[in-house]
Structure 1
Amino acid sequence: MVLPEYASSTEVAVERWRNGGVSSSRDTVAEEVPVALEYNGISHAVMMASPTDLEDFALGFSLTEGILQDRSELFDCEIVSAADGIQVQMQIATERFVMLKEKRRNLTGRTGCGLCGAETLQQAVCKPAPVASHARFSAAAIYAAMAEMQKRQHLQQVTGATHAAAWLQGDGKIALVREDVGRHNALDKLIGGLMQLEAKQDFASGAVLITSRASYEMVQKAASMGCGFIVAVSAPTALAIRLAEQAGVTLLGFVREPGHVVYAHPQRLAPA
Structure 2
Amino acid sequence: MSTRPSEERLPISEVQETPATVLTFDGGAPVSIIRAIPAEVPVGITYGDIPFAVMMATPSELEDFAVGFSLTEGVIQKAEDIRGIRVEREEQGLRLAIDLTPERLRTHLARRRALSGRTGCGLCGIGDLDALPQARSPVGEPPRLSLAAIRHALGMLEREQSLNARTHAVHAAVWADLEGTIRCVREDVGRHNALDKLIGALCRQGASPSAGFMIVTSRCSFELVEKVAAFGARTLVSISAPTSLALERARLLDITLVGIARHDSITVFHGVERIHRQDVLV
Matched, 1:235 2:241: yes
Seen in structure 2, the aligned counterparts of structure 1 residues 125 and 53 have a Cα distance that, compared at 3 Å, is closer
Matched, 1:107 2:115: yes
2:15 & 2:204 partners in 1: Cα distance?
25
Seen in structure 2, the aligned counterparts of structure 1 residues 255 and 131 have a Cα distance that, compared at 3 Å, is farther
Could you tell which deviates more after superposition, 124-133 or 96-105?
124-133
1:183 & 1:133 partners in 2: Cα distance?
27
Residue number in structure 2 paired with 1:221: 227
Alignment RMSD: 1.6
Seen in structure 2, the aligned counterparts of structure 1 residues 93 and 86 have a Cα distance that, compared at 3 Å, is same
Does the 8 Å contact 1:149/1:177 carry over to 2? no
Residue number in structure 2 paired with 1:46: 54
Residue number in structure 2 paired with 1:92: 100
Matched, 1:266 2:281: no
Matched, 1:136 2:144: yes
Given candidates 197, 201, 223, the residue that maps to 1:189 is 197
Give the count of matched residue pairs.
270
Amino acid at match of 1:26: I
The alpha carbon displacement at 1:25 in A equals 1.8
Contiguous gaps of at least 5 residues in structure 2? none
Residue number in structure 1 paired with 2:38: 30
TM-score by length of 2: 0.91
Residue number in structure 2 paired with 1:149: 157
Residue number in structure 1 paired with 2:255: 249
Amino acid at match of 1:134: P
Does the 8 Å contact 1:131/1:227 carry over to 2? no
Matched, 1:12 2:15: no
Does the 8 Å contact 2:176/2:182 carry over to 1? yes
Does the 8 Å contact 1:229/1:249 carry over to 2? yes
1:117 & 1:71 partners in 2: Cα distance?
26
Could you tell which deviates more after superposition, 24-33 or 14-23?
14-23
- Identity fraction in percent: 38
2:262 & 2:241 partners in 1: Cα distance?
11
Does the 8 Å contact 2:11/2:59 carry over to 1? no
TM-score by length of 1: 0.94
1:81 & 1:127 partners in 2: Cα distance?
33
Contiguous gaps of at least 5 residues in structure 1? none
Amino acid at match of 1:202: S
The alpha carbon displacement at 1:152 in A equals 1.1
Does the 8 Å contact 1:133/1:205 carry over to 2? no
Please list the CA deviations of residues 108-130 of structure 1 after superposition, one character each: whole Å capped at 9, or x if unmatched: 21111221222221212524225
Residue number in structure 1 paired with 2:186: 178
2:176 & 2:141 partners in 1: Cα distance?
13
Could you tell which deviates more after superposition, 53-62 or 132-141?
132-141
